[in-house]
Amino acid sequence: MTNSENLSIVTKSSASTFAQLLSSGADIDRLTLLGDFSGVSPDFSAAVRSSAVRALTVGSSKDSSFRKPNLGFVAAACLSSVLQRLDVMGVELEREEVAAFAQALGMCVSLERVKFDNCGLKTESATEIISGIAKSGCKEMRSVNFHINEPGGRGGVELAEKLAEALSGSRDLRELQLYYRGVGAKGAAALGRKVVWRNVEYLNLWGNELRDEGLSAVVDGLLLHRPSALRCLVLCSARFGPKGAEKLAQLLRHAPRLSFLYIRSNPIGPAAGAVLGNALRGSKSLAKIDVSKCQLGAQGVANLFSLLGITRLAI
């Protein structure tokens, strides 16, 4: 058995060496794939499938979205029942590669973290990948991060419902990040009902048009599970107003560890801002709050300063 803690495959010239390593029964803790795999033979993928990769990184967060031939297919071939972490970043996935990922993810029963960031995913492709993840049972899932490059529209509710169904199997979810504009109120209601929020520390729904109704559904779900672990909440540009802010205040009163609250670009107004300030007054954990572009007005900002007992605020 060959053991390798950290292995990076950057160019197709190293693919044959990699295939030989894997075919010998390699046990790889962390594997990074960055290269152009055009012309790679089927034997390579077969060798990859026999490996034991526990953490796979495809692409790099430092790059803008790019296309690398066969990279998605090779990466999908690395997925197995022992995989615990998958990060796909800055790689444009073709339709066939999305299908390969979706099929392979169904057998990743040990998966704890999955991230698809800046991959050019549209609603349909993201929904297919999430459906594949759901087939694994998601019992070990702790972190989910999707950046979907499409401004909502049809299919957004179905995506949210598939994600909610997938995450209903996890009892130790710690992080959910969904950069999207398509969840809407109905999709948010599905997430609120089905996700087990008990251990969630980081919730990011930036850009999703939750509105008051959707935010209320998410808050009800969190309150049901007593969100004492919540440390960071991001709800920027979620389209909620005063009613949503008042509902959010109920959550803040039951989140003793909350350190970061970002709700910029929501038209809540000064009265609702005061309600939020009262909910947070006396907090010993709050480190940063962003209420810029929330229509608080000068007096509303001053009131929030006073309620929170702070001298600096992002406005």
Residue 169 and residue 195 in contact, taking contact as beta carbons nearer than 8 Å: no
Residue 285 DSSP code? S
pLDDT in tens, 23-40: 555 667 888 887 666 666
Give the pLDDT confidence score for residue 2 in this predicted structure.
44
Residue with tokens 């209420």: 291
Q: What share of the chain is helix, strand, coil (3-state, %, to 5)?
A: 40, 20, 45
According to CATH, the topology of domain 57-63+84-308 is: 3.80.10
* Pick from 222, 170, 166: nearest CA to 193: 222
pTM: 0.89
Least confident of 17-31, 47-61, 146-160, 234-248: 17-31
What pLDDT is attached to residue 6?
Answer: 59
Structure tokens at 151: 């401004």
| Tens-place pLDDT, residues 259-287 | 999 999 999 999 999 999 999 988 889 99
Tokens 């999707």 map to which residue?
146
How high is the pLDDT of residue 34? 76
Highest mean pLDDT: which range of 18-32, 147-161, 162-176: 162-176
Which residues have C-beta within 8 Å of that of residue 213, sequence separation ≥ 6? 185, 188, 189
Report d(CA 187, CA 210) in Å as an integer: 8
All structural domains of the chain with their residue ranges:
57-63+84-308
Query: Could you say which DSSP state residue 94 is in?
Result: P
> Helices 211-224 & 184-194, crossing angle to 10 degrees?
0
